[in-house]
Structure 1
Amino acid sequence: MNIVSLARFQFAMTTVFHFFFVPFSIGTVFVVAIMESMYVHTGNPNYKKMAKFWGNVFLLSFAVGVVTGIIQEFQFGMNWSDYSRFMGDIFGAPLAFEALLSFFIESTFIGLWAFTWNRVGKGLHLFFIWMVVFGTMTSALWILTANSFMQHPVGYAIRHGRAEMADFGALLRNPQLWYEYGHVIVGALLTGATIITGLAAFQLLKKRSLSDVNKDIYHKTMRLGMSLMLIFSLGEIAVGDAQMQYTLHDQPMKFAATEAVYKTTGERAPWTVVAIANPKTHEVKGIDIPDMLSILSYHKTTGSVKGMEEVNAELEKKYGTHIAGHKMNYYVPVNTLFWTFRVMCGFAALLFLVSLIGLIMTRNGKETLYKHRWMLWVMGILTFSPFLANTSGWLITELGRAPWTVYGLFTIQQSVSPNVSVASLLTSNIIYFCLFTILAIILIGMIVRVLRKDPDQMTDDVATDPFAKGAF
């Protein structure tokens, strides 16, 4: 164990745990907004009950997401202070917009939405929830503006050993931002649709005696959820394909690692379906499909893919073999990127297939779900799949940038705080791990308590605050 590896582990732990809740919140509030829009449009009270019931799940995910986000921000001062000094001028502006604008919008309109049922007009109340959606999506925009600079620096000048902002507009025009933002937002919407569909499936599985109203609500929830899953899984495949084509040229080492390509291919590049790579010998053992990598990369049967060996030689020539006294290794963890890429893509394809089958099976009414309980089990188990897919995506994004924190400008070795110790990092890692475990247990327990009730019990006199005693 050393300081760099412990600091990286801590940041990875806090980031992954926080990112469990970011797409969870963005996606679920969007689905809830759709439900309330259907209530306002149709006047059907069941849609109102759906919105209030699943809105409680969103409120819980948002609350925990805020806590984990604050913990994540501690990292910049604790373990990565040299990175903060280098990047502070760039990072500060988008983070300020996120906190002062987007989070203000989110927190204000969440409160207005949660506590004004039947106290304001339906149209105004609907406006509240869509403003929450707007706040969550712009919050993601500002965070990804900062992250996109780390992937593809633009609009800066190096002065006194620091990156200083020269053009804020360039940050917003960064092509990396819009590929990344589209991928994250569509993934978040897919996450929300999948979670709500899966939780509705669990409700139908565990509750054998349900009123006709609750059956109708859970059926509507699943039909809506699967419709959104179908749309957003297709969208995720499309935006993911566009981002990888951009990555092929912008970060060729990352792209080559996701396909385990060490040696530059010929014009007709084969695609390795499954493989194990040896980082020491650069040997790859796997199953290939001829020409398929060219098709996936260029949408045609010809097109060479640059291998990691060639990319590494180019990076050594451009940046040198040593930076700030540290010997550089430009190779990235190939097996991790290769398999996480397949996990991410595999779940997107699986969710598309399952949602399509589910919509076909349930087109004749809600009783179909009881005749095919295996489908409920499939949907219930898939509740957890977005967390695996989203985590895989972020591992690809961040590990594929190694050895840089800011691509081409600042390395991981240069970024670590100079005064931290192994003992302090071990202690804080243990504390954070215990804290995250406790938060996860509390969240799961509170969601379970919310789900013990049914949407039909969400009458106008029931508290909508999930932390209030009356909510349970």
Structure 2
Amino acid sequence: MDAVLLSRIQFAFTVAFHYIYPPLSIGLGVVLVIMEGLYLRTGERIYEQMTRFWIRIFALIFGIGVATGIVMEFEFGTNWAVYSRYVGDIFGSALAAEGIFAFALESGFLGILLFGWNRVSPKVHFFSTIMVALGSMFSAIWIVVANSWQQTPAGFKIEGTGLNARAVVTDFWEMVFNPSSMERLAHVLVGSLLAGSFLVLSVNAYYLLKKRHEAIAKAGFKIALVVATVAGLMQLFTGHRSADGVAKNQPAKLAAFEGHYDSLAVADMYLLGWVDARKETISGISIPKGLTYLIHGDFTTPVKGLKSFAPNDRPSAVNFVFQTYHIMVSIGMALIGLTLLASFLWWRGKLFDHRWLLQVFAWSVLLPQIANQMGWYAAEVGRQPWVVYGLLRTSDALSQALRAEQVLFSLILFTVVYALLFALFLYLLNKKIKHGPVDDAHHVEEVPLYSKRDNPIL
């Protein structure tokens, strides 16, 4: 393998590992705000216990997320020097905004969130929880804005030529609100809500299966189920809007999503299938003319296919893009079905009567993570061969002095270090979950949930 492919693998690996944690932080931050808000509203100690417990989980996830994100910044300089020079003005603006609006907000209130429970008033602590949750979202905003600019560049001009060319911001807000940024941001944030809420659902389902902390587990499960159900339904809307944007701005990527080659034909929407890139064919189960209808609102307008583009301007790994995209969509629909089923059982008063459902929820924590990873793979590989769509090819963005053996060595080293870090994360997470939400130094006896009349949310 050459240095370009190895560098792409290395960056994909580090991003994928890092991307386990930010969605959990964002989603869990929102759930924490709800939990602590209920504690302030009702005064019930059960909400205090669950909030304290999930703050400890949040701290672990947040810390690992920060540590794993640092490596990528070094890779921009070591592996992708031409790219860094080309987009430095764009990324610099976005990262500066992240530092001002996100990192400062998070770091300013994180200490109060973690250590201020008995040192500040409940309202001040609750305000700090809100600020940390908003800080996590603001961080995602600027990262997604920077990445979306690569997909749909806007608000810039090119200065210089050849290896010295670089994109310079001419309109900051046009750069921020580029054609895909808001659609992609909404999709990412809703996916984060699903990741965080399903972590809470999974842990509480585990407690209910083990018959531990049942009062807290039932209350926490219901809170997370509300968030997950709303987020799942929102994902239908944000996903459709995002796909419409891809159809308009990146038609080659959309064609790869559905394995669509022929531009003179209407396009089917595949539920599952397999793309033979060599023969430029696809086989599988599809809804006839379904993609045409979703894009154009009719069944007759052709959809631009991959054959409309020169071979060197198409995504090369079409089947990979197709599979990752469809895995993401399939998991998204499964999560919607699962949350709606649980919500229906809750309405019938039988939410916790089915052990099999709790077992499904205990393992379901993996599903949003897989969907988020698959979505990013589909989006980024589908953008190829461009690192900045239509402007800078990935093969031209690599550091000129980089050798393949250097990248291979660092990739092996990163794999070992990240494997150890992930094992440590799982060990600490499992230890905190096994300990449970009851703090021995501040033990509160579990009590039955009060009636719906006392708390209409439950």
1:467 maps to which residue? none
Cα distance, 1:458–1:304 mapped onto 2, change above 3 Å = farther
Cα distance, 1:190–1:7 mapped onto 2, change above 3 Å = same
Report deviation, 1:68. Answer: 0.6
1:349 maps to which residue? 333
Q: Is the Cα–Cα contact under 8 Å of residues 201 and 225 in structure 2 kept in the other structure? A: yes
Tell which deviates more after alignment, 286-295 or 164-173: 286-295
Q: Is the Cα–Cα contact under 8 Å of residues 197 and 222 in structure 1 kept in the other structure? A: yes
Q: Does residue 200 in structure 1 map to residue 232 in structure 2?
A: no
One-letter code aligned to 1:385: L
Report deviation, 1:288. Answer: 2.7
SS of 2:120's partner is: coil
One-letter code aligned to 1:281: K
2-side partners of 1:436 and 1:265: how far apart?
47
Q: Is the Cα–Cα contact under 8 Å of residues 156 and 167 in structure 1 kept in the other structure? A: yes
TM-score of the aligned structures, taking structure 1 as reference length: 0.90
TM-score of the aligned structures, taking structure 2 as reference length: 0.92
1-side partners of 2:231 and 2:40: how far apart?
24
1:264 maps to which residue? 263
1:99 maps to which residue? 99
Q: Map Cα deviations across residues 213-266 of structure 1 (whole Å, 9 max, x no partner).
A: x21110111111111111001111110100101110100000011111010254
1-side partners of 2:401 and 2:104: how far apart?
35
Q: Is the Cα–Cα contact under 8 Å of residues 277 and 284 in structure 1 kept in the other structure? A: yes
- Aligned with 1:337 (options 318, 321, 339): 321
1:22 maps to which residue? 22
Q: Does residue 178 in structure 1 map to residue 182 in structure 2?
A: yes
SS of 1:284's partner is: strand
2-side partners of 1:404 and 1:108: how far apart?
38
Question: What 5-or-longer segments of structure 1 have no aligned partner?
Answer: 317-327, 463-472
Q: Does residue 241 in structure 1 map to residue 249 in structure 2?
A: no
Cα distance, 1:247–1:368 mapped onto 2, change above 3 Å = closer
2:449 maps to which residue? none
2:192 maps to which residue? 188
1-side partners of 2:345 and 2:257: how far apart?
36
Report deviation, 1:359. Answer: 2.3
SS of 1:456's partner is: coil
2-side partners of 1:99 and 1:34: how far apart?
26
Alignment map for 1:70-85 (pairs within 5 Å): 70-85=70-85
Report deviation, 1:300. Answer: 4.2
2:304 maps to which residue? 306
Q: Is the Cα–Cα contact under 8 Å of residues 2 and 404 in structure 2 kept in the other structure? A: yes
Identity level (%): 34
1:296 maps to which residue? 294
1:415 maps to which residue? 397
Cα distance, 1:203–1:235 mapped onto 2, change above 3 Å = same
2:387 maps to which residue? 405
Q: Is the Cα–Cα contact under 8 Å of residues 343 and 351 in structure 2 kept in the other structure? A: no
Report deviation, 1:201. Answer: 1.1
One-letter code aligned to 2:286: D
Report deviation, 1:442. Answer: 0.5
1-side partners of 2:439 and 2:52: how far apart?
10
Cα distance, 1:11–1:356 mapped onto 2, change above 3 Å = same
Q: CA RMSD in A?
A: 1.8
Q: Is the Cα–Cα contact under 8 Å of residues 117 and 460 in structure 1 kept in the other structure? A: no
1:12 maps to which residue? 12
- Aligned with 2:425 (options 417, 423, 443): 443
Q: Map Cα deviations across residues 3-55 of structure 1 (whole Å, 9 max, x no partner).
A: 00110000000011111111011111111111001111111111111111112
Q: Is the Cα–Cα contact under 8 Å of residues 315 and 383 in structure 2 kept in the other structure? A: no
Report deviation, 1:368. Answer: 5.3
2-side partners of 1:114 and 1:14: how far apart?
28
One-letter code aligned to 1:290: P
One-letter code aligned to 2:269: W
Question: What 5-or-longer segments of structure 2 have no aligned partner?
Answer: 445-458
Report deviation, 1:195. Answer: 1.1
Tell which deviates more after alignment, 332-341 or 132-141: 332-341
Q: Map Cα deviations across residues 111-149 of structure 1 (whole Å, 9 max, x no partner).
A: 111111132221111100000011111111111111111
Q: Is the Cα–Cα contact under 8 Å of residues 361 and 368 in structure 1 kept in the other structure? A: yes
One-letter code aligned to 1:355: T
Q: Is the Cα–Cα contact under 8 Å of residues 3 and 404 in structure 2 kept in the other structure? A: yes
SS of 2:254's partner is: helix
Q: Map Cα deviations across residues 399-423 of structure 1 (whole Å, 9 max, x no partner).
A: 1110111111111111111111122
One-letter code aligned to 1:286: G
1:157 maps to which residue? 157
Report deviation, 1:461. Answer: 8.5
One-letter code aligned to 1:223: K
Equivalent residues, number: 440
Q: Is the Cα–Cα contact under 8 Å of residues 6 and 408 in structure 2 kept in the other structure? A: yes
One-letter code aligned to 1:3: A
1:465 maps to which residue? none
Q: Is the Cα–Cα contact under 8 Å of residues 226 and 356 in structure 1 kept in the other structure? A: no
Q: Is the Cα–Cα contact under 8 Å of residues 169 and 175 in structure 2 kept in the other structure? A: no
2-side partners of 1:78 and 1:22: how far apart?
24
2:118 maps to which residue? 118
Cα distance, 1:44–1:256 mapped onto 2, change above 3 Å = same
1:426 maps to which residue? 408
- Aligned with 1:281 (options 262, 279, 282): 279
Q: Is the Cα–Cα contact under 8 Å of residues 254 and 400 in structure 1 kept in the other structure? A: yes
1-side partners of 2:168 and 2:101: how far apart?
23
Q: Is the Cα–Cα contact under 8 Å of residues 52 and 458 in structure 1 kept in the other structure? A: no
